[in-house]
Amino acid sequence: NAGVIQTPRHKVTGKGQEATLWCEPISGHSAVFWYRQTIVQGLEFLTYFRNQAPIDDSGMPKERFSAQMPNQSHSTLKIQSTQPQDSAVYLCASSMGLGGAETLYFGSGTRLTVL
Residues that bind another protein (CB under 8 A): 31, 33, 42-43, 45, 48, 55-56, 58, 91, 100-101, 103-109
Nearer to another protein, 9 or 15 (CB): 9
Q: In angstroms, how far is CA 113 from the centroid of its own chain?
A: 15
Closer CB to another protein, 14 or 39, in the complex: 39
**Residue 104 CB, nearest approach to another protein (Å):** 7
Q: Which is nearer to another protein, 48 or 65 (CB)?
A: 48
Q: How deeply is 102 buried, as exposed, middle or buried, from its count of CB atoms within 10 A (0-12, 13-18, 19+)?
A: middle
DSSP class per residue in 31-61? EEEEEEEETTTEEEEEEEEETTEEEE-TTS-
Are residues 92 and 7 in contact, defined by beta-carbon separation less than 8 angstroms?
no
The least distance separating another protein from the CB of residue 79, rounded to whole angstroms, comes to 20
Q: How far is the CB of 108 from another protein (least distance, A)?
A: 5
